[in-house]
Structure 1
Amino acid sequence: MIRALHPWFLLLLLVLPLVWTMAKRIRVLGHGRKALALFLRTLVFIFLVLAVCEFEYLKWGDRLTVFFVIDRSSSIPPDTQQYSLAYVQERLGSIPRDDQAGIIFFGKTAAIQENPRENVTLVEYQTIVNPEGTDLEAAIGLAMAAFPEDTQRRIVLLTDGNQTQGNAEKAVQRALASGIDLRLLPLTYNYNQDALVEDVIVPSHLQENEPFNVKILVQAQEAGPARLRLTENQQVVAEESVELKPGKNAFLIPRKLDHGGFYQFDASVEAYFDQRPSNNHAQNYSIVQGTPRVLLLDSEYAAGQSLAAALTAEGIQVDYHMPDSLPGTLPELQIYDCIVLSNVSASEFTASQMQMLETGVRDFGMGLVMIGGPDSFGAGGYLGTPVENALPVTMDIKHQRIIPSGALVLIMHSMEIPQGNYWARQISLAALDVLSREDSLGFLYFNSSRGGDDWLFPLMKVGDKQLMRERLLSLQQGTIGDMPSFNTTLEKAYEALLKVEANKKHIVILSDGDPQRPLPGDIQKIRDDNITISTVCISPHNQTNVDVMRAIAELGGGNAYHVTNNKNLPRIFIKEASVIRKNLLIEEEFTPAVNQYHEVIDGFPEGFPPLQGYVVTSVRPEAELLLLTHKQDPLLAVWHYGLGKAAAFTSDAKSRWAKTWLGWSGYAKFWAQVVRWTIRSQQETHFEVAAAVEGDNVRVMVDALTPEGGFLNNLQFNAVSIDPGVKSNPFPLVQTQPGRYEGVFPVF
């Protein structure tokens, strides 16, 4: 089928008879040449009309789904945002009858305003997204995930292109590679009245009680009064009225810090004439050398008090909290010189927090200590995570040991929630990432097109995960149908699990709870074969649905979750997938054996008391393996990771496995030495670092001096910038003059 997107331009063809009539009056050319000229001009005119009509070829039976992806970030002026909305409203009116349209708003986050359907209108803007940023990759990815099956796909992207996080180029490449027609409408605008904070200049390193100045540079396009504010670790420390002049304005605020740690300085300006508030802020950081500070996290707060008290008794400043107290941003995390994770599951953290921990160790010199327990290391879901990258041990068991494998079946019911298809992918991929190559995974769902249960992929060894990942990424809107009954689906999962050899077997059901309830006897039969069942209830129609899901989990020996925030789904599935990784726990008494001597274990001539268990891991080739278990597995390993140091102790520090250690006279000394070895180095440096924005780039300048003030030349630097997504991006620093090194990286 051939279709014109703008068919009304065909009316221009009505002008042709008038052109022909006027051409007959031309007598300059001969009859033959005049006919040829008239034919060629007519042909060119027809082609131009057909071009503006935008004809496209569709196969019979194909439909088109268009996603309008609209940038709602605060960097775009209100009138330009209104223009983009009006444009979409107009285009929605020209969507052909059988085609569908959907709408996505995005800024720092992305969300669906309208799911794809016919006769879409944009009347109310109900979807709220965080406007303080622009993530084009997330917006395009959400559109790709939300397209329905069996239609042609088009994305119309309306944006100013000023991304602050994500990778738009990769997202565009993925969209084009998958056959999506991607069209861009650039949003352009000019600001005639603007005041912006260009830079906040502070020393990179300070001593306690050392006086210094915070220098704030403000660029203004016109003169006028303004309000200048400075915050220090989110506390306002200075606020004053100032007079701006056109061009660059510099303001000095004297400060002195009496406690060591990481300090974030945020400067803001408010001018009455300002039309662009999104650039009214800038920030910088300083490290104040003082007493090191340690953050200890433990999910069993009462049981972890012994370790907190022991470290405090050894003179270490400890902040002791539950895992949900881990800071959410890298600047907030930097007040600590070491993070200690004592039996904390990966499901307690978001993906960005785990990336933040790795970046903190590698690029900011922070220390990291992971202590074992049933919810730690591989048993806690850290396989394949950024935190694993920072540790001296891996969760993938590579040495010649037979570790009992696990088997997991995911049962998916159609999710009647916005972006249901997207969340089905995310939670399944989260579960897949937790499993090792020897574990087994199956994905079971109700196939509405054929009216029965079906495997997206059958229960099988995870292997390199590539096949399963591809199948999950291929999930299209509408693939997962509305399951009429739990009985047949559970029976199919049960039969598959009976056929595999696995030490742990587990089923996780995601549903709204409205399919027909399974018989208690059928659940008990599954339970009798040592197969457990957990349920995740989302968007239930009533309380009865919630009760059904809870009853299934209680009879099945698993956990029941009622999810009200979709963002918690991946973390729940990480936790549930980790159930089958409990085969990594060895609960046998053993006495630690010294593998090599190191300052961390110096001062224990009588050795170490026995322990009652540990989590199996593999030591990295670059790490130093200090203590071994009775099965020659790592007990204590340390290493340098980038600028930081990390330690892994695979047993615990509590009464489950370390009961005899709690009464041991060396308990406090041992843990103090482990933690102190990893604490961020506070060696005095003679590098002064400054940065300045130059158009779309940031120029970094490093002055390297000796203690006497001489120049340090011919140095080799490894420089990285950290983007808003907490990802490291290396860039070169080259010497430009005696003691001066410079480099440039793009603004994110």
Structure 2
Amino acid sequence: MGVQFDHPWVLLLLPLVIAGAIYAYRKDFRLAGARKKWAVGLRTAICVLLIFVLAGFHTYTIALNKEVVFVADRSSSVSSTVPIDEWIGEAVKSKGEHDLAGAVSFGMNTVVDKSLSESIELPGWGQREVSREFTHIEHALSLAGSLFQGKENRRLVLITDGMENVGAVLDEAQLLKERGIAVDVLPVTSPEQRDASIEEFLVPEKLYPAESFAFEVLVRSTYAGSGELRLYEDNREIGRHAVTLERGDNRYSLQGLAKEMGLHRYRAEIYIEGDEQSANNAHYAFTRVTGSPKVLIVEGASGTSANLENALSAGLIDYSVISPGMLSSELSKYAAYDSIIFNNVSGEQVGGRQMELIEQAVRSYGVGFMMVGGQDSFGMGGYFKTPIEQLLPVSMELEGKREIPSLGLILVIDRSGSMDGEKLRLAKESAIRTVELLREKDTVGVLAFDDRPWWVVEPQRLDDKESVISSINGIPSGGGTDIYPAVADATAKMLDLDAQRKHIILLTDGQSAGSSGYVNLIESMVEGNITMSTVAVGGDADVQLLQSLASGAKGRYYLVEDETTLPAIFSREAAMIARTYIVDKPFVPAQVQGGDWGSWFKGGLPQIYGYVATTAKSTAQTVLASPEPDPLLARWQYGSGRTVAWTSDMTGKWSRDWVAWPGFPGLFTDMVKWTFPQFSSSTFEVETEQSGNEVHFTVRAASEPYPGELTGKVTGNNGEEAEVVLSQVSPGNYEGVMTVTEPGSFLLHVSSPEEEAEAGSTSTGFVVPYSPEYRLSADFDPEERMEALGELTGGRWLAWDEPEAAYDFTPYPQRKLDNWDWLLLILALLLWVCDIAVRRLAVSWSWIAERLGPLAGRGRRPAASGGAVPAAPREDSGLGRLAARKSRTAAFYGGSAAGADRDRGVSAEEGGAPAEAPSARPPRSEADAAARPAAAGARTEPSSPPVEETKPEPGAETESAPGQERLGRLLEAKRRGGRR
């Protein structure tokens, strides 16, 4: 063991500390005897400890241990059959007793499987989460290099196939070389597979209707064979072509025809006999076919959109009609249309995922949206607090504009074990949304049940919505399913309520344990004017029972296959029992803010016979209104898109005069055209290029003035959005980059953040078809790169049959330092406390012995001869304590004990006890008493005036002499105490 100082020049302070200690000891230190020695010694020790800390005091031992971190490639290009874990285990077993081993696993990210340790057993190799879609060797080596504890004998063992597709490993190798860390390489050689992959798939970015174009496909194969190349447009097959593949690159050019307008996604797939890897058999490309706009009509009931179709046909607008169940779960499908129309569509028919995608298409990609009213739309359709309400210019809340009958609503929710998870979460969200829709004067109750009912919220007025919502959120799951007790309990509570309209909503996904008594229960509901709607979640619910309950209680029955529609169903039920959303009296609409549509209203407007009441949002433009006034026609800008709300219908039930009006086709066409995207597809030209996990964007502006900066909004298949800043690198040219974590199709919307509407915007798409781990690279030699890595860092080329070679290298001696700073600082702090105690606490050993003496003798009883021992006379308590204190003080400060002896003599005289001390030690002269303070090193003060002696009167000597002598001794003790 040795000693090392990081800053040895600080030790030059030690002579100064020693000199200071000698000076303090020789001078008047106000302390005497042992206390003085202790005080000087403690302070000197404290200073020495602090100097050692400042000098960087360390002890060290010479170590020859080796540190090895194994870096294992877990990406998709490395087969799971490669025995990486077994090789590392054998290598670790060959290490020395004090050698250290650690391990990390990597793909795109890097995780530490085991920190450096002397343990031979290293459990959990490669068990933690690693993204296998990319290979990032640079990041793995950087993290592994940070795990080392010493400065010598450090090595990384890299186990990889070298197929790096993210980062630059040789840049990190240079940094490792400068740190003295060698990288040994154990190459992974995967057997060559029979594999064919589509490396490129190109289509023109812009096309026109009926334009012929070419698909360009590059197929790379590791073997020769014949197969089939298939092409798809928006998941619709458009062609099959027989191909013959040669080993290497094969290029094909296939003809296509642009038929439909909008943004389209094409897919190419290769099928070849003997192909062992299918992950790289497909590739994608996007193109936009420009021309006449295209509209998507979603109709709630089949055959109810004839008036809309006729109007669009008259305006030469292309359209498609679908049912709500055909709405896509891919964002690119909605981006292919210029506008979407909901014609009397109920929210229960539209899934939550579809609502979110439509809202995203309008906000981010400029797709228009229009909602046409009817009995199943707006608030009656259950759109309260949905993404669709968010994009509309009107709100579903009436905000107290008309008196709504008082409502009594009880929600009966199944909380059995089968409802656990997403079902119960959506059921609670549905109940909460319903509570938010009600008013303070309404009454609400929430009853959860499994095999028995449990009142989550007893029926009460909604004075405190937050408390009710909090209780709903706390509903747990568990137990079986028994519907009857819950419905019976809810009915009994509802019969006692004082409300104008009473309604129960029952939700369950299971079969009831009991099935009797429902007939009498339904009769009680009907007699009490109580209605009940039932919701069956999934096909396992007791559909027949729920249908009969809803029918008998004059409610509605819902069969839910998509749980995300539950909130819309509950909101719709709350709106329907209020019955005030529908206004069914005739009126002539009043023009409020006609704008560019005002010319259609100059000749007057036909009557409207009904509509669904809504409230216009603060920034919306109300074009037409009812006498209430409620908005009949409203519009606004929402993000990049525009939306319109028409709160009456267009089937003829409420608008028979309106659809027969000659101006209807032209006005409706203008309403739809107003929602079309307000940008030209040629405003910007966008090019994308993928490199590893990065996508580089190059954007060119079509005309001046050029915006200073562009914003790209990228949306993936999962709906997540990412924003990319496109900076101008030259006039009209912009560049940006983003990282991707997984393959997929992405939509890109480019716009100017300064003046989006004026500067224009463009939507396009790009694809990361599959992980680069599956690419068949023709010009990349991973073995050559790994050899360069080993040579640069001084590493070795290891073999699979020699795992013990991982630790077979000559170690260099290195110092293993032990840091003592904290221990020295703690010791200095403790000595400082002791120094304070020595200087400040005036406690003598004689005083301690005097106090402990009685304790030591307690319990002892002296032997009595011939009788009891007479009790000692009682001392005068005040004078005795004063004399004892004087004696201790004099002894503590090094003074003579004469005064103390005399005081003890006084106590003996007064108490009658013999005073042996004074007789054994005669009192000193006055000269000795005067010299005592100087000898003790204490401060000398002027002596008191001499006391004049008087000769005692005859006969009084015996009585007065002891009193005067005692008084004199007390005065002298007082003077000595003052000097101390």
TM-score normalised by structure 2 residue count: 0.51
Preserved contact between residue 699 and residue 733 of structure 2 (Cα < 8 Å): yes
Residue by residue, what CA displacement relative to the aligned partner does 1:45-96 show, whole Å, maximum 9, x if unpaired?
xxxxxxxxxxxxxxxxxxxxxxxxxxxxx98999689x99xxxxxxxxxxxx
Preserved contact between residue 686 and residue 704 of structure 1 (Cα < 8 Å): yes
Q: 1:580 to 1:535 in 2, by over 3 A?
A: same
Q: 1:459 to 1:295 in 2, by over 3 A?
A: farther
Match of 1:508 among 506, 509, 529: 506
Q: 1:444 to 1:263 in 2, by over 3 A?
A: same
Matches within 5 A, 1:716-731: 716-731=709-724
Q: 1:263 to 1:385 in 2, by over 3 A?
A: same
Structure 1 position 671 matched with structure 2 position 674: no
Within 2, Cα distance between the matches of 1:77 and 1:601? 68
- The aligned counterpart of 1:490 is 488
Preserved contact between residue 437 and residue 464 of structure 1 (Cα < 8 Å): no
Matches within 5 A, 1:279-318: 279-318=280-319
Preserved contact between residue 635 and residue 649 of structure 1 (Cα < 8 Å): yes
Q: 1:714 to 1:298 in 2, by over 3 A?
A: closer
- The aligned counterpart of 2:449 is 446
Within 1, Cα distance between the matches of 2:213 and 2:648? 46
Structure 1 residue identity aligned to 2:733: R
Q: 1:727 to 1:390 in 2, by over 3 A?
A: farther
Q: 1:668 to 1:486 in 2, by over 3 A?
A: same
Within 2, Cα distance between the matches of 1:209 and 1:539? 45
Preserved contact between residue 344 and residue 380 of structure 1 (Cα < 8 Å): yes
Within 1, Cα distance between the matches of 2:292 and 2:707? 33
Preserved contact between residue 295 and residue 338 of structure 1 (Cα < 8 Å): yes
- The aligned counterpart of 2:232 is 231
Local SS of the residue matching 2:669: helix
Structure 1 residue identity aligned to 2:739: P
Preserved contact between residue 721 and residue 730 of structure 1 (Cα < 8 Å): yes
Residue by residue, what CA displacement relative to the aligned partner does 1:221-260 show, whole Å, maximum 9, x if unpaired?
84655754332232234635364766x8765545442442
Question: In the TM superposition, what is the alpha-carbon distance from 1:601 to its structure 2 partner?
Answer: 4.4
Within 2, Cα distance between the matches of 1:660 and 1:494? 48
- Aligned-residue identity in percent: 26
Within 2, Cα distance between the matches of 1:600 and 1:163? 54
Structure 1 position 698 matched with structure 2 position 695: yes
Question: In the TM superposition, what is the alpha-carbon distance from 1:636 to its structure 2 partner?
Answer: 0.8
Preserved contact between residue 395 and residue 615 of structure 2 (Cα < 8 Å): yes
- The aligned counterpart of 1:578 is 572
Q: 1:294 to 1:537 in 2, by over 3 A?
A: closer
Preserved contact between residue 382 and residue 434 of structure 1 (Cα < 8 Å): no
Preserved contact between residue 428 and residue 473 of structure 2 (Cα < 8 Å): no
Local SS of the residue matching 1:700: strand
- The aligned counterpart of 2:824 is none
Question: In the TM superposition, what is the alpha-carbon distance from 1:639 to its structure 2 partner?
Answer: 1.6
Within 1, Cα distance between the matches of 2:666 and 2:229? 49
Q: 1:717 to 1:467 in 2, by over 3 A?
A: farther
Structure 2 residue identity aligned to 1:624: Q
Question: In the TM superposition, what is the alpha-carbon distance from 1:719 to its structure 2 partner?
Answer: 1.5
Question: In the TM superposition, what is the alpha-carbon distance from 1:627 to its structure 2 partner?
Answer: 0.9
Which region of structure 1 is more displaced relative to structure 2, 395-404 or 617-626?
A: 395-404
Within 2, Cα distance between the matches of 1:434 and 1:694? 49
Residue by residue, what CA displacement relative to the aligned partner does 1:400-431 show, whole Å, maximum 9, x if unpaired?
655557554332345564x6443222233245
- The aligned counterpart of 2:642 is 645
Preserved contact between residue 691 and residue 698 of structure 1 (Cα < 8 Å): yes
More strand by share: 1
Question: In the TM superposition, what is the alpha-carbon distance from 1:683 to its structure 2 partner?
Answer: 3.1
Structure 1 position 267 matched with structure 2 position 261: no
Q: 1:541 to 1:651 in 2, by over 3 A?
A: closer
Matches within 5 A, 1:208-607: 208-216=209-217, 222=222, 224=224, 228-233=229-234, 234-237=236-239, 239-241=241-243, 243=245, 252-270=253-271, 275-398=276-399, 402-403=403-404, 407-413=408-414, 415=416, 417=418, 420-433=420-433, 436-438=436-438, 442-446=445-449, 452-459=452-459, 471=471, 474-478=474-478, 481-484=479-482, 486-487=484-485, 489-492=487-490, 494-496=492-494, 499=497, 501=499, 503=501, 505-510=503-508, 511-537=510-536, 546-561=543-558, 567-571=561-565, 574-582=568-576, 583=578, 584-607=581-604
Within 2, Cα distance between the matches of 1:514 and 1:669? 60
Q: 1:434 to 1:347 in 2, by over 3 A?
A: farther
Q: 1:483 to 1:691 in 2, by over 3 A?
A: same
Structure 1 position 631 matched with structure 2 position 628: yes
Local SS of the residue matching 1:306: helix
Q: 1:591 to 1:538 in 2, by over 3 A?
A: closer
- The aligned counterpart of 1:32 is none
Within 2, Cα distance between the matches of 1:723 and 1:619? 33
Q: What CA RMSD, in Å, does the superposition of the two structures yield over aligned residues?
A: 4.0
Structure 1 residue identity aligned to 2:480: D
Q: 1:224 to 1:497 in 2, by over 3 A?
A: farther
Q: 1:672 to 1:573 in 2, by over 3 A?
A: same
Preserved contact between residue 407 and residue 580 of structure 1 (Cα < 8 Å): no
Local SS of the residue matching 1:603: helix
Structure 2 residue identity aligned to 1:443: V
Within 2, Cα distance between the matches of 1:581 and 1:597? 30
Q: 1:397 to 1:741 in 2, by over 3 A?
A: farther
Question: In the TM superposition, what is the alpha-carbon distance from 1:642 to its structure 2 partner?
Answer: 2.6
Within 2, Cα distance between the matches of 1:528 and 1:577? 26
Preserved contact between residue 449 and residue 483 of structure 2 (Cα < 8 Å): no
Preserved contact between residue 228 and residue 270 of structure 1 (Cα < 8 Å): yes
Within 2, Cα distance between the matches of 1:456 and 1:163? 47
Preserved contact between residue 383 and residue 568 of structure 2 (Cα < 8 Å): no
Within 2, Cα distance between the matches of 1:532 and 1:80? 64
Q: 1:537 to 1:231 in 2, by over 3 A?
A: closer
Local SS of the residue matching 1:606: coil
Local SS of the residue matching 1:557: coil
Within 1, Cα distance between the matches of 2:538 and 2:293? 46
Question: In the TM superposition, what is the alpha-carbon distance from 1:546 to its structure 2 partner?
Answer: 4.5
Structure 1 residue identity aligned to 2:572: S
More helix by share: 2
Question: In the TM superposition, what is the alpha-carbon distance from 1:718 to its structure 2 partner?
Answer: 2.9
Within 2, Cα distance between the matches of 1:704 and 1:245? 42
Structure 1 residue identity aligned to 2:493: E
Question: In the TM superposition, what is the alpha-carbon distance from 1:578 to its structure 2 partner?
Answer: 0.8
Question: In the TM superposition, what is the alpha-carbon distance from 1:605 to its structure 2 partner?
Answer: 1.4
Which region of structure 1 is more displaced relative to structure 2, 528-537 or 192-201?
A: 192-201
Local SS of the residue matching 2:296: strand
Matches within 5 A, 1:91-130: none
Unmatched 5+ stretches in structure 1: 1-73, 85-155, 165-187
Q: 1:624 to 1:546 in 2, by over 3 A?
A: closer
Q: 1:272 to 1:551 in 2, by over 3 A?
A: closer
Question: In the TM superposition, what is the alpha-carbon distance from 1:509 to its structure 2 partner?
Answer: 4.0
Q: 1:684 to 1:690 in 2, by over 3 A?
A: closer
Residue by residue, what CA displacement relative to the aligned partner does 1:503-562 show, whole Å, maximum 9, x if unpaired?
5633224241332433433323323444311234568999xx554333222211123356
Question: In the TM superposition, what is the alpha-carbon distance from 1:721 to its structure 2 partner?
Answer: 0.8
Q: 1:313 to 1:330 in 2, by over 3 A?
A: same
Residue by residue, what CA displacement relative to the aligned partner does 1:132-182 show, whole Å, maximum 9, x if unpaired?
xxxxxxxxxxxxxxxxxxxxxxxx997654699xxxxxxxxxxxxxxxxxx
Q: 1:163 to 1:326 in 2, by over 3 A?
A: farther
Within 1, Cα distance between the matches of 2:495 and 2:425? 22
Structure 1 residue identity aligned to 2:344: N
Structure 2 residue identity aligned to 1:241: V
Unmatched 5+ stretches in structure 2: 1-74, 86-125, 135-159, 164-189, 743-980
Structure 1 residue identity aligned to 2:295: V
Preserved contact between residue 76 and residue 160 of structure 1 (Cα < 8 Å): no
Local SS of the residue matching 1:669: helix
- The aligned counterpart of 2:102 is none
Within 2, Cα distance between the matches of 1:160 and 1:272? 32
Local SS of the residue matching 2:207: strand
Preserved contact between residue 446 and residue 472 of structure 2 (Cα < 8 Å): no
